[in-house]
Chains A and B, each alone.
Chain A
Amino acid sequence: MSVVADGPQAQAPVTVPPAISVHGLTKRYGDLVAVDGIDFSVAQGEIFAFLGPNGAGKSTTIKMLCTLAHPTMGQAMVAGMDVATMAKSVRRHIGLVFQEQTLDDQLTAEENLRFHAVLYGVPHRLVEPRIARVLALVALSDRRKDLVSTYSGGMARRLEIARGMLHTPKVLFLDEPTVGLDPQTRALIWEDIQRLRSEEGVTIFLTTHYMDEAEFAERIAIIDHGTIIALDSPDLLKASVGRDTVSIETTDDEAALASLQAAGYTVERSGTGLTAFVPDEEAAVGPIVAAAGVPVRTVRAHRPTLDDVFLHFTGREIREQHGETVPMMARVRGARRS
């Protein structure tokens, strides 16, 4: 598969310049190469995720794009401006949400937002409508006059996202936006992010080391040891590492194998039974059980996950200490469907 995919960009009108375009971007700290000559571009209005383990170069990349670190080599254009030479203009046109909280908790939400509006030069007459607007976007309008010290961690994070949007940035950068939050809150934040994109048309660039969250991005760049090792939509990335499978155990595997092959399925013997390769595991379960022709004892359907993708490209797992990710995934999906 192609490393620098140009899927959505190729479909975008040629007249729209990318929100972010990066060529040969490199950052060295002494002998350490934190980011090693990466290339990618992000289309306007896209949700783009940088996925990788801690220390892979995600934060360094985001810092360079936000003009908080100078690239050692290469070029990065954000909102049409070079981050190296037009740092101040770039900062005016991007929104930043850091991993750590950067609100003043002795001020109210409104005061924090007003302060930010001044720092980012929002014209006076627009301050009030923008505050009302961004608070509505993250559903915090009713907490507007409350001190931030009374906010929960999730509310504070959503207020920060609202603040990042206050000056109508062209690109919103979110560095690990959901780290340390409970599953419900993470689901809410993802709803916020998608609402911002659809209602404000902002381009969203985020980093995460949660596989299940990267699923929500339109495209994912998997970064490891400072280089991009894969870049594509989640579905294409997953498709690139293997197909959906349905594994069954039957009372008579020989007979089942023959029946399924006769029905046109690609089937292999696996450890304790048979594995069929299918385009869509969910849809295939019923027909396969019916086509087996003998009683089926167990059925397992599997679709490649981003974990499989990460494992495939790096040879190891990303999910070290994140036992909660699996139930989380189910939760967010449920919330999204409702």
Chain B
Amino acid sequence: MSQQVVAQENILELRDVTVSFGMNRGVSKVLDDVSIDIHRGEILGVVGESGSGKSMLASAILDAVVDPGTVDGEISYRTDSGETVDILNLEEEELRQLRWEEIAMVFQGAMSFFNPTMKIRGHFLETLKAHDQDVEDGMEHARELLTDLHLEPDRIFDTFPHELSGGMKQRALIALSLILEPNVLVMDEPTAALDLLMQRSILTLLDDLQEKYDLTIVFITHDLPLVKDLCDRIAVMYAFDVMEVFPAGDLSNSTHPYTRSLLNAVPNLTTSLDELRSIEGSAPDPVDIPSGCSYHPRCPLSTPECEQEDPALEEIGPDQEVACWHHEKVDEELPLALETSDGVSAEVYEGNQSDEPVVSMDDVEVHFESDDGGFLSLFDDPEVVRAVDGVDLEIYENDVVAIVGESGCGKTTFGKTAVGLQEPTGGSVQYRGQDIWETKAGRGNGDRSYAEIRRALQIIHQDPGSSLNPNRKISATLQVPMKSWQSDLDVEDRKARLLAMLESAGMSPPEDYADRYPHQLSGGEKQRVALIRALLMNPDLILADEAVSALDVSMRVDMMDLMLTLQDLFDTSYLFISHNLTNARYLAGRAGGRIAVMYLGEIIEIGPAEEIVQNPQHPYTQALHWSTTDLDSTDETESPISDIDVPDPIDPPSGCRFHPRCPEAREVCASEKPSLESETDHCTACFREYPEDHPYWDSEPLDQETVGVTVEGESS
């Protein structure tokens, strides 16, 4: 946490800032009378769900709201010398100088920020020249910044943007935003597209940067627990206005009912699974914001007073303001669910898990060859990406297996192999003892047809936007599975059945939903439809590929609850893929399932959900656990990995694949590979699990210094 250099001096003051867009439905207010002070030298977290107006706040601070939006109100900025600048009334040229030199911004999509035809060096030079800075000094500063961010300046400067991984690009972007030594850095979801581990690493680096360069940071995010250790104060936004501001150190400081409900809706690693409650209802439309307190339709504490009068932000303590009539009652009525679970209290949906596996995978390998050179590359050795490399897994009836790993570790490819949508290049995938791909080729040894196997294995995709055909109504989409395997049903039967399914998924009135196109549904509703579509095939196993990741935090628990309720009803198993240990814990934990951790194409640890979460054995699982912040933890621990970038999957490290990043790695890890064998059902592929006579215990630790600074790139 940062030291506040000058106590309580405000560097930015926002007064009654309103941003409105004229639409044909009416005036859309995407910021509604926001007033907030930003202290010099602090890190302010701005937290809100999607569509709460938090990104618009960032645009307003830079007076960069796009046409035809209009900004009203007052935003004043205090320079180092004590002058006050009215940002909204600046001339074009003054504004240009203010941006980047005084207030810089880091955007969400680092992928599209860089010009793909220009090397990274060019981006730095361009920025320096555009602001008439001394190029040599500036580049020297850039080198320092890049080194601070664990990047090698010389290598980074000479690469094109596509040669960098997402995390490296985002760090280069942060360096670029600091090149002109601004006083304020506005970051709009700078880590949302990155893996948890990378997110956490960047946050740690940011904390150091903030102290070193004496920055004021406005950090905008949808993930409250993520920023709690980084920030000094947290501002919570709902329905285009700030609901409360509170000191970040302890989340129990929060006094607004919305903040409490939001915190109680987010799965984490310690809270008992029964304590999680989703927030009823949905966020309001910007054209039609409820009168009075905008949260009252969803608030459990709302009274007639809330419906009539909008509470203003009221100071209730040092650094703490809240806009709620009932903030005194919050501790009583909506306590934070932080009690650590004892592992027994959680209600577990007990399925009758059979001994016979539904799907069993034996030494499955999926290798992709890149052959983009066409005829001319005929004589080159093709580059082989080992997406999945020798994985065994058995999935039983009524089982839930959650696969957790960073992006690019092969978890999606592995999942698609499990449901027979991706042909393995080695090993076998069997459905109830019958090889899927042999059956498809007509050489099957069992008596099941391929169509029968196909029916039993279904998929739900990650992106709600592309999981449904935009040109077909929901009722047409949902009739497809029934046409496929129940041809005896006529149109009316199919319709009656899909209406009943929609009803049971909580989408009522079902007739109304059935008659809609996908664009008329919210993301969560689309995912429900995708789940229903999969269930209508009456499958034995559903692959849920990051099925809740794209949803808003408050809706994830809802969706996972629905998945579990329907599992109970239809006797299916789930293979749940997630980059997020908390979601995996929630789904697998409630169903008494397992969590498997994948790293570079291999499963490195597998075991019962609570066991993996509470007692991780592999150093990588421990790192994942570290990257998932606990709501109530106050201790700040050092990063448990020594290199924050993932190695290149084309050329994976020898021996144990995690050894270049592992803090416990010894020499033997670089040459030998540990196996995943164990007598119990908690297996870990690490030499540290081996008995005392294993050579690991006598081997020398790897020299961490050399490993730590080497930056492993995507290009080899």
Q: Do A and B come from one complex?
A: no
B: residues with CB less than 8 A from A are none
Q: Enumerate chain A interface residues (CB-CB to B < 8 A).
A: none
